[in-house]
Amino acid sequence: MSVQERKQRERAARERLIVATARELAEQQGWDAVTTRRLAERIEYSQPVLYSHFRGKREIIGAVALQGAAELATAVRAATSAVDGPRARVAALARAYLDFAARNPAVYDALFQLDGGLAYAQEDTPEPLKDAFAALLETLAEVAGDGVHPGLFTETFWAALHGLATLTRAGRLLPEDAEPRVELLVDRLAMV
């Protein structure tokens, strides 16, 4: 291994450490607790080293969001591939999405609430974000209905899931009604 290759691997490892530490801190104490100073202390590198990887907290949030998007896509695909039939796949998608949001609140915030400097629904949208949407579209396109654009249907279903995730997390919806909400969403919006 050349010196250059070793340096690139070390840099990539430091970057992964920064993102993992930011994510851990955000999950434990919220995004307000994530500062470059605290991150530098936790990873035992100087702030200038941290800034050599990310220009600031916004880019760190973006990196966590991209990681989260890849995880969300994986979770949705795993859930939908484990069941048969359109209705079961849509219900599995909804449950996987809501479970991801509940288990990873800081990552979910990085993806959909905070400014991570990422472009959504544009030409320059990063691939992990496009793939997370594609994971939803793969299942929802088959139930969009005649004359309904699959992408628009997916956006609408996603918006409903996001609303459920956000309102449940904020304590505005009773947690014991989570499953009836999924059933209602599947039966009435997806009509399967």
The pLDDT of residue 1 is above 90: no
Against a cut of 0.85, is the pTM above it? yes
Q: H or E stretch including 39? A: helix 36-43
CA gap 165, 135 in Å, rounded: 18
Tell me: pLDDT of 64 over 80: yes
* pLDDT at position 190 over 80: no
Tokens 């995730």 found at: 165
**What CA–CA distance (Å, rounded) separates 10 from 138?**
37
Angle at 159 between CA 163 and CA 80, to 5 degrees: 100
Q: What is the pLDDT of residue 191?
A: 80
